Protein backbone atom coordinates (compact mmCIF):
# COMPACT_ATOMS: atom_id res chain seq x y z
CA UNK A 1 0.00 0.00 0.00
CA UNK A 2 1.40 3.41 -0.93
CA UNK A 3 1.64 6.17 1.64
CA UNK A 4 -1.19 8.00 -0.14
CA UNK A 5 -3.42 4.95 0.16
CA UNK A 6 -2.41 4.58 3.79
CA UNK A 7 -3.54 8.16 4.45
CA UNK A 8 -6.76 7.49 2.54
CA UNK A 9 -7.47 4.48 4.76
CA UNK A 10 -7.04 6.63 7.87
CA UNK A 11 -9.35 9.32 6.48
CA UNK A 12 -11.98 6.67 5.81
CA UNK A 13 -11.76 5.48 9.41
CA UNK A 14 -12.50 8.82 11.05
CA UNK A 15 -15.69 10.83 11.13
CA UNK A 16 -13.94 14.05 12.16
CA UNK A 17 -10.79 15.32 10.50
CA UNK A 18 -9.01 18.48 11.65
CA UNK A 19 -6.48 20.06 9.31
CA UNK A 20 -3.66 22.38 10.43
CA UNK A 21 -0.84 24.22 8.64
CA UNK A 22 2.02 26.52 9.66
CA UNK A 23 2.02 29.84 11.47
CA UNK A 24 2.53 32.99 9.40
CA UNK A 25 0.75 31.16 6.58
CA UNK A 26 1.51 31.61 2.89
CA UNK A 27 -0.63 30.62 -0.11
CA UNK A 28 0.74 27.05 -0.07
CA UNK A 29 -0.14 26.62 3.61
CA UNK A 30 -3.70 27.82 2.98
CA UNK A 31 -3.95 26.09 -0.40
CA UNK A 32 -2.87 22.66 0.80
CA UNK A 33 -4.84 22.82 4.05
CA UNK A 34 -8.07 24.01 2.51
CA UNK A 35 -7.63 22.18 -0.79
CA UNK A 36 -7.38 18.91 1.12
CA UNK A 37 -10.36 19.88 3.29
CA UNK A 38 -12.48 20.57 0.19
CA UNK A 39 -11.46 17.28 -1.42
CA UNK A 40 -12.34 15.25 1.67
CA UNK A 41 -15.66 17.10 2.09
CA UNK A 42 -16.59 16.50 -1.56
CA UNK A 43 -15.60 12.83 -1.38
CA UNK A 44 -17.10 12.09 2.04
CA UNK A 45 -20.03 14.46 2.66
CA UNK A 46 -20.83 12.74 5.97
CA UNK A 47 -17.45 13.49 7.49
CA UNK A 48 -16.82 16.62 9.49
CA UNK A 49 -13.73 18.39 8.17
CA UNK A 50 -12.42 21.35 10.15
CA UNK A 51 -9.62 23.80 9.34
CA UNK A 52 -7.80 25.63 12.12
CA UNK A 53 -5.01 28.14 12.68
CA UNK A 54 -4.62 31.88 12.97
CA UNK A 55 -6.38 33.96 10.31
CA UNK A 56 -4.11 35.78 7.87
CA UNK A 57 -5.94 38.83 6.52
CA UNK A 58 -4.28 38.73 3.11
CA UNK A 59 -5.40 35.11 2.61
CA UNK A 60 -8.99 35.18 3.85
CA UNK A 61 -10.06 35.38 0.19
CA UNK A 62 -9.08 31.70 0.07
CA UNK A 63 -10.72 30.33 3.21
CA UNK A 64 -11.95 31.07 6.70
CA UNK A 65 -10.68 29.18 9.72
CA UNK A 66 -12.98 27.46 12.20
CA UNK A 67 -13.15 28.08 15.95
CA UNK A 68 -13.27 24.71 17.64
CA UNK A 69 -13.23 23.46 21.21
CA UNK A 70 -10.52 21.31 22.80
CA UNK A 71 -13.02 18.44 23.08
CA UNK A 72 -13.41 18.41 19.31
CA UNK A 73 -9.94 16.93 19.06
CA UNK A 74 -10.76 13.76 20.99
CA UNK A 75 -11.44 10.94 18.53
CA UNK A 76 -10.34 13.15 15.61
CA UNK A 77 -7.77 12.51 12.93
CA UNK A 78 -5.38 15.47 12.73
CA UNK A 79 -3.53 16.28 9.51
CA UNK A 80 -0.81 18.93 9.39
CA UNK A 81 0.07 20.40 5.97
CA UNK A 82 3.21 22.22 4.83
CA UNK A 83 4.87 22.39 8.26
CA UNK A 84 8.36 20.97 8.80
CA UNK A 85 8.54 21.30 12.57
CA UNK A 86 6.03 21.05 15.36
CA UNK A 87 6.73 24.45 16.88
CA UNK A 88 5.58 26.08 13.62
CA UNK A 89 2.20 24.36 13.60
CA UNK A 90 -0.56 26.93 13.91
CA UNK A 91 -2.89 25.95 16.77
CA UNK A 92 -0.76 23.90 19.12
CA UNK A 93 -3.64 21.55 19.98
CA UNK A 94 -2.59 19.42 16.97
CA UNK A 95 -1.41 16.64 19.28
CA UNK A 96 -4.74 16.37 21.09
CA UNK A 97 -6.19 14.22 18.30
CA UNK A 98 -6.24 10.46 18.20
CA UNK A 99 -3.78 10.15 15.32
CA UNK A 100 -1.52 12.61 13.53
CA UNK A 101 -0.50 12.77 9.87
CA UNK A 102 2.17 15.05 8.43
CA UNK A 103 2.03 16.06 4.75
CA UNK A 104 4.95 18.25 3.73
CA UNK A 105 7.54 19.07 1.08
CA UNK A 106 10.23 20.63 3.30
CA UNK A 107 13.38 18.69 4.17
CA UNK A 108 12.75 16.68 7.35
CA UNK A 109 14.00 18.50 10.42
CA UNK A 110 11.42 17.13 12.81
CA UNK A 111 9.92 13.70 12.14
CA UNK A 112 6.53 14.00 13.81
CA UNK A 113 3.25 12.17 13.25
CA UNK A 114 2.01 8.59 13.11
CA UNK A 115 2.15 8.80 9.33
CA UNK A 116 4.57 11.10 7.57
CA UNK A 117 4.28 11.82 3.87
CA UNK A 118 7.21 14.02 2.92
CA UNK A 119 8.12 14.67 -0.72
CA UNK A 120 10.99 17.12 -1.04
CA UNK A 121 10.74 16.86 -4.85
CA UNK A 122 7.31 18.46 -4.76
CA UNK A 123 7.22 22.18 -5.55
CA UNK A 124 4.63 22.68 -2.85
CA UNK A 125 2.43 20.80 -0.45
CA UNK A 126 -0.45 21.84 -2.69
CA UNK A 127 1.17 19.86 -5.51
CA UNK A 128 1.17 16.85 -3.17
CA UNK A 129 -2.53 17.35 -2.44
CA UNK A 130 -3.25 17.26 -6.16
CA UNK A 131 -1.17 14.09 -6.38
CA UNK A 132 -3.26 12.66 -3.53
CA UNK A 133 -6.38 13.23 -5.65
CA UNK A 134 -4.76 11.83 -8.82
CA UNK A 135 -3.71 8.63 -7.16
CA UNK A 136 -7.10 8.10 -5.53
CA UNK A 137 -9.54 9.39 -8.14
CA UNK A 138 -10.59 5.85 -9.02
CA UNK A 139 -11.10 5.10 -5.36
CA UNK A 140 -13.75 7.69 -4.63
CA UNK A 141 -11.71 10.85 -4.12
CA UNK A 142 -13.15 13.85 -5.96
CA UNK A 143 -11.79 17.20 -7.07
CA UNK A 144 -13.95 20.33 -7.07
CA UNK A 145 -13.55 23.75 -8.67
CA UNK A 146 -12.99 25.28 -5.25
CA UNK A 147 -10.33 22.71 -4.31
CA UNK A 148 -8.64 23.17 -7.69
CA UNK A 149 -8.46 26.95 -7.20
CA UNK A 150 -6.95 26.54 -3.72
CA UNK A 151 -4.36 24.02 -4.90
CA UNK A 152 -3.49 26.10 -7.94
CA UNK A 153 -3.00 29.13 -5.72
CA UNK A 154 -0.65 27.17 -3.44
CA UNK A 155 1.44 25.94 -6.36
CA UNK A 156 1.65 29.43 -7.86
CA UNK A 157 2.68 30.85 -4.48
CA UNK A 158 5.44 28.37 -3.67
CA UNK A 159 6.91 28.30 -7.18
CA UNK A 160 6.96 32.09 -7.51
CA UNK A 161 4.59 31.80 -10.46
CA UNK A 162 6.43 28.75 -11.89
CA UNK A 163 9.77 30.54 -11.76
CA UNK A 164 11.70 28.76 -9.01
CA UNK A 165 13.83 25.67 -9.82
CA UNK A 166 11.46 23.61 -7.65
CA UNK A 167 9.03 23.85 -10.58
CA UNK A 168 9.14 20.53 -12.42
CA UNK A 169 7.50 18.90 -15.40
CA UNK A 170 5.04 17.37 -12.92
CA UNK A 171 4.24 20.84 -11.55
CA UNK A 172 3.33 22.08 -15.01
CA UNK A 173 1.42 18.88 -15.72
CA UNK A 174 -0.69 19.32 -12.60
CA UNK A 175 -1.12 23.05 -13.19
CA UNK A 176 -2.36 22.43 -16.71
CA UNK A 177 -4.93 19.99 -15.37
CA UNK A 178 -5.94 22.37 -12.57
CA UNK A 179 -6.64 25.30 -14.88
CA UNK A 180 -9.19 23.06 -16.60
CA UNK A 181 -11.44 23.52 -13.58
CA UNK A 182 -13.78 26.45 -13.33
CA UNK A 183 -12.21 29.24 -11.28
CA UNK A 184 -11.13 32.81 -11.83
CA UNK A 185 -7.36 32.89 -12.29
CA UNK A 186 -7.20 36.67 -12.73
CA UNK A 187 -8.93 37.18 -9.41
CA UNK A 188 -6.44 34.87 -7.68
CA UNK A 189 -3.43 36.67 -9.16
CA UNK A 190 -4.89 40.05 -8.26
CA UNK A 191 -5.45 39.00 -4.65
CA UNK A 192 -2.08 37.28 -4.35
CA UNK A 193 0.10 39.98 -5.84
CA UNK A 194 -1.50 43.27 -4.93
CA UNK A 195 1.05 45.52 -3.24
CA UNK A 196 0.40 48.38 -0.88
CA UNK A 197 1.98 51.73 -1.69
CA UNK A 198 4.01 51.45 1.54
CA UNK A 199 5.54 48.13 0.50
CA UNK A 200 6.28 49.53 -2.95
CA UNK A 201 8.15 52.45 -1.34
CA UNK A 202 10.10 50.09 0.92
CA UNK A 203 11.10 48.06 -2.15
CA UNK A 204 12.34 51.31 -3.65
CA UNK A 205 14.45 51.93 -0.55
CA UNK A 206 15.95 48.43 -0.72
CA UNK A 207 16.78 48.73 -4.41
CA UNK A 208 18.42 52.12 -3.79
CA UNK A 209 20.66 50.65 -1.11
CA UNK A 210 21.96 47.40 -2.60
CA UNK A 211 25.48 46.30 -1.82
CA UNK A 212 27.06 43.28 -3.56
CA UNK A 213 30.19 41.56 -2.28
CA UNK A 214 32.92 40.12 -4.53
CA UNK A 215 31.48 36.62 -4.22
CA UNK A 216 27.90 37.73 -4.80
CA UNK A 217 26.39 38.21 -1.35
CA UNK A 218 23.91 40.97 -0.76
CA UNK A 219 22.05 41.88 2.40
CA UNK A 220 19.84 44.57 3.79
CA UNK A 221 18.93 45.44 7.37
CA UNK A 222 15.37 46.53 7.98
CA UNK A 223 15.47 48.01 11.45
CA UNK A 224 12.36 48.97 13.37
CA UNK A 225 13.21 52.57 12.55
CA UNK A 226 13.18 51.91 8.79
CA UNK A 227 10.00 49.83 8.97
CA UNK A 228 8.29 52.58 10.96
CA UNK A 229 9.42 55.19 8.47
CA UNK A 230 7.77 53.26 5.62
CA UNK A 231 4.83 52.24 7.84
CA UNK A 232 5.37 48.57 7.08
CA UNK A 233 4.79 45.72 9.55
CA UNK A 234 7.56 43.10 9.86
CA UNK A 235 5.11 40.41 8.73
CA UNK A 236 4.47 42.27 5.49
CA UNK A 237 8.09 41.97 4.41
CA UNK A 238 7.75 38.36 3.26
CA UNK A 239 6.60 39.60 -0.14
CA UNK A 240 9.78 41.60 -0.77
CA UNK A 241 12.41 38.92 -0.22
CA UNK A 242 12.51 37.95 -3.88
CA UNK A 243 13.32 41.37 -5.29
CA UNK A 244 17.09 40.96 -5.12
CA UNK A 245 16.95 37.76 -7.18
CA UNK A 246 16.91 39.48 -10.56
CA UNK A 247 19.96 41.59 -9.92
CA UNK A 248 23.07 40.66 -11.85
CA UNK A 249 25.93 39.54 -9.63
CA UNK A 250 23.86 38.53 -6.62
CA UNK A 251 24.16 34.82 -5.81
CA UNK A 252 22.73 34.72 -2.31
CA UNK A 253 21.11 37.32 -0.13
CA UNK A 254 19.74 37.98 3.31
CA UNK A 255 17.05 40.34 4.46
CA UNK A 256 17.17 41.08 8.18
CA UNK A 257 13.88 42.21 9.63
CA UNK A 258 13.57 43.53 13.17
CA UNK A 259 10.55 42.13 14.97
CA UNK A 260 9.32 42.49 18.53
CA UNK A 261 11.93 40.33 20.28
CA UNK A 262 13.94 38.89 17.44
CA UNK A 263 15.59 39.76 14.15
CA UNK A 264 14.20 37.53 11.42
CA UNK A 265 16.65 36.48 8.72
CA UNK A 266 15.20 35.69 5.31
CA UNK A 267 17.73 33.88 3.12
CA UNK A 268 17.53 33.26 -0.60
CA UNK A 269 19.96 31.88 -3.16
CA UNK A 270 20.36 31.27 -6.87
CA UNK A 271 22.70 28.29 -6.38
CA UNK A 272 24.75 28.11 -3.17
CA UNK A 273 23.01 25.98 -0.55
CA UNK A 274 21.89 28.31 2.21
CA UNK A 275 19.67 26.23 4.49
CA UNK A 276 22.87 25.01 6.15
CA UNK A 277 23.58 28.62 7.05
CA UNK A 278 20.03 29.00 8.37
CA UNK A 279 20.55 25.92 10.53
CA UNK A 280 23.42 27.70 12.33
CA UNK A 281 21.01 30.43 13.43
CA UNK A 282 17.92 28.67 14.80
CA UNK A 283 16.45 28.16 11.36
CA UNK A 284 16.11 25.93 8.34
CA UNK A 285 14.16 25.51 5.14
CA UNK A 286 14.81 24.67 1.52
CA UNK A 287 18.30 24.63 -0.06
CA UNK A 288 17.61 27.91 -1.90
CA UNK A 289 15.06 29.53 0.41
CA UNK A 290 15.41 29.45 4.16
CA UNK A 291 14.82 31.44 7.29
CA UNK A 292 16.65 31.97 10.57
CA UNK A 293 16.75 34.18 13.66
CA UNK A 294 19.30 36.35 15.39
CA UNK A 295 18.90 38.37 18.55
CA UNK A 296 21.28 41.30 18.16
CA UNK A 297 22.21 43.47 15.20
CA UNK A 298 25.88 42.69 15.80
CA UNK A 299 25.23 39.09 14.70
CA UNK A 300 24.54 40.25 11.13
CA UNK A 301 28.23 40.17 10.34
CA UNK A 302 28.52 36.49 11.27
CA UNK A 303 25.53 35.48 9.13
CA UNK A 304 26.90 37.43 6.17
CA UNK A 305 30.34 35.85 6.66
CA UNK A 306 28.74 32.38 6.56
CA UNK A 307 26.89 33.30 3.37
CA UNK A 308 30.19 34.52 1.89
CA UNK A 309 31.69 31.12 2.69
CA UNK A 310 29.04 29.09 0.89
CA UNK A 311 29.15 31.45 -2.09
CA UNK A 312 32.91 31.20 -2.28
CA UNK A 313 32.73 27.41 -2.38
CA UNK A 314 30.06 27.23 -5.06
Binding residues vs Mn ion (CB under 5 A)? 28, 82, 124-125, 158
The distance of closest approach from Cβ of residue 28 to Mn ion in the complex, given in angstroms and rounded to an integer, is 3
Nearest Cα neighbor of 282 from 114, 109, 63 is 109
Q: What DSSP string runs through 177-199?
A: HHTTSS--HHHHHHHHH---HHH
Nearest Cα neighbor of 252 from 275, 272, 222 is 272
Is 82 or 306 the residue whose CB approaches Mn ion more closely? 82
Pair 245, 278: CB distance under 8 Å: no
The distance of closest approach from Cβ of residue 181 to Mn ion in the complex, given in angstroms and rounded to an integer, is 21
Is 106 or 264 the residue whose CB approaches Mn ion more closely? 106
The residue sitting closest to Mn ion, measured at its beta carbon, is: 28
Residue 152, SS3 per DSSP: helix
User: CA 299, CA 313: separation in Å to the nearest integer?
Assistant: 22
The distance of closest approach from Cβ of residue 16 to Mn ion in the complex, given in angstroms and rounded to an integer, is 25
User: CA 234, CA 258: separation in Å to the nearest integer?
Assistant: 7
- β-bridge pairing 252-258 and 263-269: antiparallel
Is 17 or 289 the residue whose CB approaches Mn ion more closely? 289
Is 72 or 82 the residue whose CB approaches Mn ion more closely? 82
The distance of closest approach from Cβ of residue 132 to Mn ion in the complex, given in angstroms and rounded to an integer, is 15
Is 124 or 275 the residue whose CB approaches Mn ion more closely? 124
The distance of closest approach from Cβ of residue 311 to Mn ion in the complex, given in angstroms and rounded to an integer, is 25
Amino acid sequence: MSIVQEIHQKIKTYSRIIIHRHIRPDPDAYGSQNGLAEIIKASYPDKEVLVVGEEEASLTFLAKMEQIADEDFTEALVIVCDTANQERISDQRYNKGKELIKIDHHPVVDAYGDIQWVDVQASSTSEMIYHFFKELQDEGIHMTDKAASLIYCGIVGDTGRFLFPSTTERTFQYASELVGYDFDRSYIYEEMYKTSANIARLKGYILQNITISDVGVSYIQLTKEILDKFEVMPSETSSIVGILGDIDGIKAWAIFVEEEHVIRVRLRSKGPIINQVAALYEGGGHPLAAGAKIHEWNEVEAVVADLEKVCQLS
